Structure 1
Amino acid sequence: MSQTIVVKIGTSSLTQAKTGLLALSTIATLVETLTNLRLNDVRVILVSSGAVGVGCGRLDIKERPRTTALKQAVAAVGQGRLMRIYDDFFSSLGQPIAQILLTRQELIQRTAYVNIYNTFQSLLSLGVIPIVNENDTVAVEELKVGDNDTLSALVASLVEADYLFLLTDVDRLYSADPRYNPQAQPVERVVTKEELEQLQAQVSEGGSQWGTGGMVTKLAAARIATSAGVKTVITNGQTPGSINRILAGEMCGTHFEAQPRGESARKRWIAYSLVPVGQLYLDEGAVKAIRDRGKSLLAAGITRVEGEFQTSEAVAVCDSEGKEIARGLVNYSSSEIRQIQGKQSQEIPQILGYANTETVIHRNNMVSMVA
Structure 2
Amino acid sequence: MTPLDLRADIPALEDAVYLNTGASGPSPRRVVTAAETFLEHHEFEAPTAEGMYTAAFDAYDDVRATVAEFLGAEPSEIALTQSTTDGINRVACALEWTTDDVVVRTDLEHPAGILPWQRLERTRGIDVRVVGSDAGRLDIDAYRAAVEDAKLVCVSSLTWNYGTRLPIETLVDIAHDAGALVLVDAVQSVGQTSVDVHEWGADIVAAAGHKWLLGTWGAGFLYVSDDVIDTLNPRTIGYRGVVTPTDETYEFEPGARRFEIGTTNPAPYVALQTAIETLDEIGLGTVESRIQQLTTRLVNGVPDDRLLSPTSPESGLVTIDVDDPSTTVDLLKEANIVIRSLPDPDAIRASIHVFNTQEDIETLLPSSRTRGDSAP
Q: Give me the TM-score of the superposition, normalised by structure 1.
A: 0.30
Larger radius of gyration: 1
Q: Which has the higher contact order (CA 8 A, sep 6+)?
A: 2
The TM-score normalised by the length of structure 2 is 0.29
Q: Greater share of strand residues, 1 or 2?
A: 1
